[in-house]
Structure 1
Amino acid sequence: MSLLGPAEVRELAHKLGIRPTKQLGQNFVHDPNTVRRIVRAAGLAPDESVLEVGPGLGSLTLALLEHASQVHAIEIDPVLAGALGDTVARFAPEHTGRLTVIAGDALRVSLEGAAPTALVANLPYNVAVPVVLHLLGTVPSLRHGLVMVQKEVADRLTAGPGSRIYGVPSVKLAWYAESRQAGKVPPSVFWPVPNVDSGLVAFTRREEPAEDRRAVFGVVDAAFAQRRKTLRAALAGWAGGPDAAERVLRAAGVDPGARGEQLTVEDFTRIASQQRARVADPGRVQQ
C-alpha cells in the first residue's frame, strides 16, 4: 500500500479537473508523514469503524484504511466522491472492501446502517465547528476522534473557562466530550498552501448531563451573545427580565455578576435546570 505524495495529489487533481475552492474549504494534504501522524494520534483499534468527513483526494483515507476495519467517507464534492473508490483501488487494492463512500453534506446525510466509533478528519475550515457538534449530537456511536482544523478553531474548541477565547464552541464540545489539543500542523503539508496553521483536536465522549441539551445550549447561546455583559443582563431576554435572570442564577449557585466566559458546562446545566423548574412552578425559585 502507498500513500499520496505531492506528485500523486497533483496528478489526481489534474485528471479529475479539480481546482481547489475556498467555498468548499479544499486544502489537500500531500505529506504522507502528516497523515501517518494523524492516524497514530487518533489511537484507533483494529476493529474500529471510522467516519471521515471531507476525504478529498484520499490522502488520509488511505492511511485510515490500513488501521481500521471500516471507513465511512462523506464527501460533498460529487467528482471527488465518485473518484475516491478508484483511488483506493489503485493505491490500496487490498482494502477496497473496507471503504464506504457517502456523497453529500455531512450536516445533512443519513448514516443509517452505520455505527462509526471514531471521527477522524481533515475538516474544511469554514464548517469545522458545526460538523463536529452535529455529528456528536446525531451519531451516538461515536466514542472518540481526532480532527484537523484551523489552529484558531482548535484553540477555541479546547479553551477552558476564564480564557478570553472560551465561548460557545468550547462549552458545546465540553457537553459531549473531553477534548485536548494534539499538535500543530504547518501550512506546507497542504495544496494549495493555506495562510494559517492547522491544529489537531482529540476528544473522548463523556456521559452527557441529564438536562435537556437544547435547553442548556439555549442558555449558552444567550450568555455569549453579549459576552461583555454580566449574566444578569445577558440572560435577561432569555429568562424574562433581569430580575428573573438573577433569581434563576442565584438558585443555580451562579453569581449574577459573572460573565459567561467564567462558567463551566455544569454551571450552564444548573441554570437551565433552574429555569425549567421556575417555568414549571413559578413559586419554586425564590430570590
Structure 2
Amino acid sequence: MDQLLAKIDEAAAYIRSKIAAVPQVGLILGSGLGVMADEVQDPIVIPYGDIPHFPVSTVEGHSGELVVGRLENKTVLVMKGRFHYYEGYTMKEVVFPVYVMKRLGIDALLVTNAAGGMKRGFAAGDLMLITDHINYTGSNPLIGANIPELGPRFPDMSSAYDKEFRALAASKAEELGIKLQQGVYVSISGPTYCTPAELKMLASWGADAVGMSTAPEVIAANYCGVRTVGLTCITDMAIGEELEPLTHEQVVRVAAEARPRFIALVKATVNGMNV
C-alpha cells in the first residue's frame, strides 16, 4: 500500500509541475458530457497518458484529458473522461484520480454521469440530482489494507452526497428554471445493460437511475474527506416492464442534447460552492 501512496504522490507532483494555482474543485465528466471542459478559462490540458500511473480512457465519449483552469470563480481540475471497472481496471485504478485530486488540494468534487431512468415520471434528457447511491458493482475500492494517510479503515457514508451542496444545486436549478429530478443512483459493473428482471430488482431496492460509474469515485472521495455532489443526465428509460433496446451511441446523443442545461447548472453550482 505504500507503493500506491508513492504512485499517487508521483502523479500529483507531475500535475503540480504543470499548473500554477491550487485546484479547489474537481469535476469528473461522464459519457457525452466532456464538452463541459470547454467552459474552463485559461485551460492547461494534460493528456492522461502523460501522467505517471494514470489509466487511459477507452470508451467513446471519454476523451482522456485533465483540464485545469478557472470556472466561474474557482480553480478547477476537470477529468474529461473517467475510468470504469468494466474496462478491466481494478477498483483502485478506477478511483486513483480521486486520490490524486485530493493530494493536489481539492476540497469539493462534482461527479456527473449518464444513466438510465428507472422511475416513472422521469424522461430521457432529464437532469437528476443524486441523493444517495447503491454500490452494486460487486466490489469496493477500499478493499485491501488501509492507507491511514488517505482515510480511515471504516469511512462513514451516511451523507455520501453533501447535503449543503445538494441544496445548492437544487436552488440553482430553480433559479435557472431547469427541471431537476432527484433520486438514488445504482452503480452496476457493466458493460452489459440490464435485463428487465435486473431492472425490476434494482427498482424494488429503491434505485431511480442506473449506470456503470460514480459510486466507486464517491466512496473514495468520502474516504479521503472530499465533499461530493452528483448530477446525472437521464439518457434513456430503463423500466423493466417497458424495456427497449439501447446503444451507447443513443446515450451519447441524448447527453449532447441536454448539454446547455447541464453546463448552466454545473457552472452555477461550482460558483456557489463555499470552498
The TM-score with structure 2 as length reference comes to 0.29
Q: Which has the higher strand share?
A: 2
Report the TM-score, using the length of structure 1 for normalisation: 0.28
Bigger RCO of structures 1 and 2 (CA < 8 A, at least 6 apart)? 2
